[in-house]
Structure 1
Amino acid sequence: VTSQIEPAAQPDFDQLPGLRRAPEDIALLQHSSGTTGLQKGVALSHQAVLNQLEAYSKALYLTGDDVIVSWLPLYHDMGLIAGFLMPILAGVPLVLSSPFDWVRAPYRLFQSISRYRGTLSWLPNFAYNFCAQKVRDRDLEGVDLSSWRIITNCSEPVKWESHQAFFQRFNGYGLEESALQCSYAMAENVFGVTQTPSGSFPATDEIDREAYITEQKALPPREGQPALKMMSSGRALANTRIRILDEKGHDLPDKVIGEIALRSDCMLTGYYNRPDITRKAFHGGWYLTGDYGYTLDGEVFVAGRKKDMIIVGGKNVYPQDLESLAYEVPGIHAGRAVAFGIYDEKAGTEEVVIVAEVDTEDPAERQGIADALRIHITRNSAIALRHAHIVGKKWILKTSSGKTARSANREKFLAENPIS
């Protein structure tokens, strides 16, 4: 039958509108993943996308021998850029599965790596804990992870403890510890801003917890005092420059926490039809990310979102740090707690609330976990925790990219627990 079909006429490429675009024309809109408020459309030009792909591919030492394995949703920049456009435009094999299938059966990622000899994948930090906890030995029979050369932790602040849990769970199946790398990324830069240098381990920095919270400095730990182990998100891509700024826009030295600002040749054109917020997002040609962090010898350490900061009695508290402490309490699993602030009019400052999901439904056991949480937070941080709210599974709201929706959870808590 096919031999009887008339050959197609020679295509007239001049009639294809895509080939008449200028490099600066908008190629796509990448929307924010927030659960409240008007989502912002990040307008990205053809040139910006191609510049990002070139710089990021070089940082990964991407070759035609690589195989990318991804379950990430394509409506998020990590899935769209790293897990879809990059392999397609570079001619690199791509094994793509549904994020819904991954949530139901995370072991399929490891089976795909083994079957297709996958070399590159990207995971948000919560996925490291999720896989370490949920994947069972019986689902890993015959699995060989030795081909996996880069697994990039991205999309939320990276945690050294999550890397250790992941490596300890899967190193018996051929996983090399050097494969565990990190990246700091955002749609406003198309995707990648930083990346751990290929073949090296993410840099770590052990710092004093109290100075980190009260002075916004990454100072060496004091003997006998609580410490934090920070993990770097890597070094800036070759086409990207990074600065750490104080509230007046002045540069800060290494190990002093401020707002991360960046400039590159793959920046957003602007927020689509939102010139007001586009203007506010830039300072002297530098994009203000809204993220806090610090640098050390060229490495970038991300602390958290500026808008999520809790101010208690003049102390700046990062909710992610309180959540990490919460995960140390027996009965509370990683990724199943959220910290936020509520304003106390009588005290004239914010109070911290931590909501934690637990498996048990027994009231006495829940009360015991709440008491243990209060004690652990109070002993190991700069704040005294009063509000420990223990809930069942699936209470905590997430964004479309799997991040904790802090403001939405705060509103949900206040709706259920009015505080006078």
Structure 2
Amino acid sequence: MTVQTFKTLGQVLTHWSQIQPEHKAYTMLDNNGVEESHITYGELHSQAKKIAQTLLGSGLQSRNVILLYPPGIDFIIAFFGCLYAGVIPAPIHAPKRNRSNQKIASLVHSIDAAAILVPEAQKETYDQILSKEENWPEELPYIVTDRLFNLSPLATPELPDLDGSTLAFLQFTSGSTSLPKGVMISHSNCLSNLEMALSVTSATPESTFVSWLPHYHDLGLVAHLLHSFYGGSHCVILAPTTFVSRPLEWLRAITNYGGQYTGAPNFAYQLCVDKIRPEEQKNLDLSCLRMAINAAEPINAQTLLDFSEKFAENGFKPQMFLPAYGMAEGTVFISSGTLEQEPVYLEIDLDILGKDNIAVETNNDTHKKRLVGCGHGKLGEQLFIIDPQRNCEVPRYHVGEVWVTGPNIMAGYYQNPEATAKTLVSQKGDRLYLRTGDLGFMDEDGELYITGRLKDLIIVNGVNYYPQDIEICVGQAHKDIRSGCVIAFSVPGKTAEELVIVAELNKAGMTKMGQSGYLEEMVEAISSKIGEEFELSVTQLVFLRIGRIPKTSSGKLQRQQCKQMFLQESLDVLGRWTQSDGTQESQEAIHTQHLEKTFDEIMSMGFTHLQVFTNLMQMFTKDYEVKMVEFDLEKPLLVYGIDSVKLTEIHRQLQRKLECSLPIEVFCENKNVKGMLNEIVGAMSNNSH
């Protein structure tokens, strides 16, 4: 089967309903992993057709409708009903009680929705929640789709004759850097993307997919629900909440149904590593898997290695992982590795990457980063790495913006010509290129590596830092920081950009935040870890309660929104530290103790130590606003905002004051002051011999 065979997604469903009407298309599991319902291809065709005829009778052809469904088969029937009728569905997440649903109201307005499709069980609840929103449209009708399943087939109206250029559906961008936009996907876009995916997987009617991913997210909708249907396969579905509360159920479903194809963002595999206990693993059998996609967020190499090691006893092999890269604007699939080949890893020098934007392989354990390759484009698609300033292609291993061209690229953003013009650009004739906004590079074999988002890039003292690297580092700094709930960004300072960290604390951390010395403990742990890994100082640390970090509906961190909330002081802050606050200890007695302890220790070291320390403190207090009464010899200089750039100037001045040459290597902001003093005095002693 090829994309040339069919013009629309509806024709594909009609085909499978005729070829294998009794074959299971989708199976829904309940919260305990027990089969709740299923539907065959014949039933799906019949019920979707009834919905299509009702939609046509309501005059909705070519109009946009919102699909508001919990996970399950009702959504799938409604979605295909829209496709048959030429109605454009826009799946979104369900509204939440006691929370603002302004975002849903904004999405409804942004696409001029003509109706909302809902299941009967949720209609009244959703209506009560959404009608409270200030700008909710009063006349927007609800269509309850499951009431239509038992109707007799209608003779009229006839289903419209659609072609590949017809808009199939709208899928909203993740909104990780801005308000979600309606991505217009034509039937041709989607069929091309599904053909690309099938060229990788070779899925057949004998194949089984297992997915817990949200149906309103491109990875869940296209890469699983539609990919499965395109191959005539069977897809087993769990609710996202089932997975998050009990990750074991995902792997149990794979075991019980012999799942060959599955996938998720990186955090899901890490959750399995962290939460599934050894005794729970005993009855798992993952040997049936052919593909486990890791996509939709930055791929952590260590997660792949840890998952492979943990579940090796259950038949999981590293070559089952399929690292991939995609986005809604590319329908979903842009690049991937190859089945039955292990992920491609590349260890690069982090310092050179930051300073020169070039990926250089390294064996240096101190400042290296292990990247995971995201494969190549497929079929008629082409990938390029472009310098966003000079608008030209860069050499291999040089970092630039990822551009993509191919038949799977969106038609544009709905009623947003300005955003469309910025994202779809014309080069080399009439061909359109998608500017992804992602930074990456290719190796000599054309393997794609993603390094970060262009908008999120942090630049301090002329060096580029990728926020996800800093966020992972912070997450490892202290056991009370919630994994995957850290955001790093920069704000303008007096002389340069300054680093801000916003982090959620777990229950233990929330309880301890009021205790004396706890905030100082967290500051030191995070400052030391970031200093060690990146030679950066943190200007501000903000701690939040569980669930307060801004994320999209699909779980992606919203760095730009978080930054705006920080600047507007609208974050729900549990605890805060700024560099100018010092250690946050303001009691006079504590300050006096610090001062006495510091001078007692320096005096005991000898005259040379005192001479060096006195000169250093003159510079620290005069030029860098360090408060002597709060100074602690045991803390690294980064706690006081003294980074590698400032130390370079301190090194120059100290050599002049002491009238001797000192190696720059002894001036390391990661060390505590005592250690640095010892090395400086040792270097002075060597010079005198």
- Common fold: TM-score over 0.5: yes
Per-residue deviation, residues 163-198 of structure 1 (Å, max 9, x unmatched):
122222222211112111211011111111111111
Paired residues in the alignment total 410
Separation of aligned partners in 2, 1:13 and 1:84: 29
Does residue 1:400 correspond to 2:548, yes or no? Answer: no
Separation of aligned partners in 2, 1:197 and 1:244: 21
Of the two, which has the highest radius of gyration? 2
RCO (CA 8 Å, sep 6+): is it higher in 1 or 2?
1
Which residue does the alignment assign to 1:269?
411
- Aligned AA (2:492): Y
Retained in 1: the 8 A contact 2:173–2:329? Answer: no
- Aligned AA (2:438): D
1:290 deviation in Å? 0.3
The residue correspondences of 1:200-239 to structure 2 (distance < 5 A) are: 200-221=341-362, 223=364, 225-239=366-380
Per-residue deviation, residues 258-284 of structure 1 (Å, max 9, x unmatched):
000000111101111111111111332
Shift in CA distance, 349/186, structure 1 to aligned 2, threshold 3 Å:
same
Task: Name the structure with the higher helix share.
Answer: 2
SS class of match (2:538) = coil
Does residue 1:337 correspond to 2:480, yes or no? Answer: no
Per-residue deviation, residues 304-359 of structure 1 (Å, max 9, x unmatched):
11111112122221101111222332414531322111222x12434343525344
Match of 2:284 among 143, 150, 158: 143
- Aligned AA (1:274): N
- Aligned AA (1:83): H
The residue correspondences of 1:64-143 to structure 2 (distance < 5 A) are: 64-143=205-284
TM-score, normalised with respect to structure 1: 0.91
Which residue does the alignment assign to 1:290?
437
Which residue does the alignment assign to 2:463?
315
SS class of match (1:329) = coil
Does residue 1:188 correspond to 2:329, yes or no? Answer: yes
Deviates more, 1:408-417 or 1:173-182: 408-417
Shift in CA distance, 392/171, structure 1 to aligned 2, threshold 3 Å:
farther
Shift in CA distance, 292/9, structure 1 to aligned 2, threshold 3 Å:
closer
Retained in 1: the 8 A contact 2:412–2:424? Answer: no
- Aligned AA (1:15): E
Per-residue deviation, residues 227-250 of structure 1 (Å, max 9, x unmatched):
111111112122210000002211
Please tell me the root mean square deviation across aligned C-alpha atoms, in Å: 2.3
Which residue does the alignment assign to 2:666?
none
1:119 deviation in Å? 0.8
TM-score, normalised with respect to structure 2: 0.57
1:224 deviation in Å? 6.1
Match of 2:194 among 30, 33, 53: 53
Separation of aligned partners in 2, 1:137 and 1:367: 36
Separation of aligned partners in 2, 1:150 and 1:257: 29
SS class of match (1:183) = strand
Identity in percent: 29
Deviates more, 1:201-210 or 1:367-376: 367-376
Which residue does the alignment assign to 2:534?
381
Separation of aligned partners in 1, 2:187 and 2:457: 35
SS class of match (2:322) = strand
Per-residue deviation, residues 191-236 of structure 1 (Å, max 9, x unmatched):
1111111111111111111011121110122646411111111121
Match of 1:167 among 308, 318, 321: 308
Unmatched 5+ stretches in structure 1: 1-7
Does residue 1:349 correspond to 2:497, yes or no? Answer: yes
Separation of aligned partners in 1, 2:154 and 2:176: 45
SS class of match (1:122) = strand
Deviates more, 1:36-45 or 1:386-395: 386-395
1:37 deviation in Å? 4.5
Deviates more, 1:44-53 or 1:157-166: 157-166
Which residue does the alignment assign to 1:3?
none
Deviates more, 1:206-215 or 1:368-377: 368-377
SS class of match (1:335) = strand
Separation of aligned partners in 2, 1:10 and 1:206: 60
Separation of aligned partners in 2, 1:322 and 1:330: 14
1:411 deviation in Å? 3.3
Separation of aligned partners in 1, 2:298 and 2:398: 17
Retained in 1: the 8 A contact 2:175–2:181? Answer: no
